[in-house]
Structure 1
Amino acid sequence: MKNIAPAAAMLLALHAPHLAAQSSCSSDGVPRPTALFERFVSADCDSCWADKATPAPKAPGTVVLDWIVPGTQGDDAPLSAAATRDALARLAALGRTAPKATDVNTAPVQGVQGSRLRVSHGPAFNDYVGASIAFSPVATRGTPPAAGPDAGGFYLLLVEAIPAGTEGSPVARNLVRNVYQRALDNPHTLSKGERSGWRDSRPIYIPEGTKTDRLHLVGWVQDKDGRIIDAAQSRCVP
C-alpha cells in the first residue's frame, strides 16, 4: 500500500458528481472469477515482457494479473518504470522470492455460495481514483460473522489493462499499478439497512505513466491461511 491521499483529496476523489457521471465502474453484473493467475516479471528482464510464449491460463473465468518486480539493476532496469514494491510484498505473502525472469502463481477462488464481494471506483481525479470494496458473507443461523468465514484480509488492486501488441508486449496484460491491502481486524461494518458484512473506501494513487482510460479494479478476500474466499473485478459502463 502506498501514496494514499489525505482526507481532503479523499473527499474530492470519492464525491465529485460531475466526474462520477461520466461512467459507472463496478463489479455489478460481472461474473465472479474462478481463479487468479499471477505473473511476476523481473524488472531486469525486458525479454520476459516481450516473450510471445508468456504463460497464460487455460481455464475460463480466470483473472490474470501482471506484477513487475523490482530488479537488481534498480532504476536502470528496463522495466523499472512499472516496477512496484507491492510485488515484493505479494511474493513475500506467498512465501516466494523475487524471480530473475518470470514466476507464476495460480490460486483458485472458493466462491462461497451466498456471499458477495463488490468493488467499484470513479473516474481519475487529480492523480487519484476513488475506490471501494464491500463484502457480504453467507448468512448462517442469524447474524453472520462481520468479516465472512475465516476471513483474514483483503486486497484491492488498481490494474491497467494493456492490449496485446502495445507497450512492447505481444500478449494482453493486466498490469498492477497500485495496491491497497489490509487485515480485517477492524473493518467498517455495513449499515443496518444492508446485509451484514464490511466495506472500505478510499482514494488510490495513480502512478505516473498510467493510461487512466484502461484502469479497473481487482479485489479479493482471503482467509488467515491465504486461501481466496471470494474475488471480483470491475467493468466500466458509460
Structure 2
Amino acid sequence: MKNIACTLASVLVLAQPSSALAQASCSSDGTPQPVAIFERFISADCEACWTDAAIPSPSATAGAVVLDWIVPGQAGDEAPLSAAATNDALARLQALGRTPPAATDVYTAAVEGARPARLRVAHGLPLNDYLGTAIAFTPARRDGAAPDGMAFYLLLVESVPAGTEGTRVGRNMVRNMLHGTWDKRNTLSNSKQTKWMESRSMRIPDGAQPERLRMVGWVQDAQGRVVAAAQSACR
C-alpha cells in the first residue's frame, strides 16, 4: 500500500504545482539548468578520500552539478564508507566503461542539448521511508520528429554540509538511482508535443536525512551526449 501511495504522489509532482501542491513537493521549476555534470566516484575503502579537503571540484565550470558516488570497496561491509556505498555507483561506472577506483575517479560531461528542450524533476514529501519522484522531458520543438533511444537518469541526492558526517567540504551524495530508456513508443500520445515522463517511488536509505534530499536528473541521446539536466529545490 505504501508503494501505491508513493507512486500516486510521484504522479502528482509531475504536474506544474499549484500553490497548495507546492507546499508538499520540491521541483526544478525556476532553477537554472546545470551546464555540466561533475561526478566523483569514491571507493568505500578510502576514508581519506572522504575526509580530505583537497578534492577534485569543478572550479572552472560554473553552474555544474556535483555528485558524490560511494563505490563498494574490496573490504565489503568492513570498508570505512560501506554504510553509504551503493551498487548504483557500480552500475554508473559500468555505463561509463570505467572500473571501480582504488581511491577517487572523476567524470565530467557538458550539457549539450539545444534549447528550449526542457527537463523537469520533482519529489514529494517522505512517506514511510519512501519518496514519490518524477522526471519529465520535452525536446526542443525544432528537433522535429521524436528522437529515439533517449536514456534518462534520476538520482536521489543527499546534500551533506561541510563539517558534518566526517567531510570537510560540502557533498552531494547519491543515495538512490532510477535509470531507463525512452523511445518513440513511450511518448505521450495525447501531447501536442513530444514528451516523456517517468514516475516512481524511491526508498530513502537508512541513515539518510530526508530534509537534505533532492533530485538530480539528466537525459542522454543515442550517442551518449547529455541534452538536458535539472535539479530540484524546495522553495
Same fold by TM-score greater than 0.5: yes
Q: CA separation of 1:123/1:215 partners in 2, compared to 1, >3 Å: closer, same or farther?
A: same
2 CA distance for matches of 1:161 and 1:194?
37
Aligned-residue sequence identity (percent) comes to 56
Cα distance in 2 for partners of 1:69, 1:50 equals: 16
Q: Distance in 2 between matches of 1:189 and 1:164?
A: 41
> 2:83 is paired with a residue of what secondary structure?
helix
Paired AA for residue 196 in structure 1 = T
How far is 1:123 from its partner? 1.0
TM-score by length of 1: 0.88
Distance 2:232 2:24 in 1: 12
Letter in 1 for 2:78: D
SS at structure 1 position matched to 2:88: helix
Q: CA deviation at 1:187?
A: 6.2
Equivalent in the alignment of 2:16: none
State how 1:141-156 maps to structure 2 within 5 Å: 144-145=145-146, 148=147, 151-156=149-154
The structure with the greater share of residues assigned to helix is 2
User: SS in structure 2 opposite 1:236?
Assistant: coil
2:93 to 78, 91, 94: 91
Aligned: 1:201 with 2:199: yes
Contact 1:26–1:235 (8 Å) recurs in 2? yes
CA gap 1:12/1:56 in 2 versus in 1, 3 angstroms: closer
Paired residues of 1:36 and 1:107 also in contact (CA < 8 A): yes
Q: Report Cα offsets for 1:59-95 as digits up to 9, x if no partner.
A: 1100000000000000000000000000011011111
Match of 2:35 in 1: 34
Mapped contact 1:137–1:144 kept (Cα < 8 A): no
Kept in 2: contact 1:188–1:200 (CA 8 A):
no
Q: 1:30 to 1:21 in 2, by over 3 A?
A: closer
Following TM superposition, by how much is the alpha carbon of 1:193 offset from its aligned partner in structure 2, in angstroms? 5.1
What TM-score, normalized to structure 2? 0.89
Contact 1:118–1:232 (8 Å) recurs in 2 = yes
Secondary structure (helix, strand or coil) at the match of 1:63 reads strand
CA shift for structure 1 position 14: 5.3
What is the one-letter code of the residue matched to 1:46? E
Give the secondary-structure state (helix, strand or coil) at the position aligned to 2:211: helix
Corresponding residue pairs, total? 228
Superposition RMSD in Å? 2.3
Determine the structure 2 residue equivalent to 1:170: 168
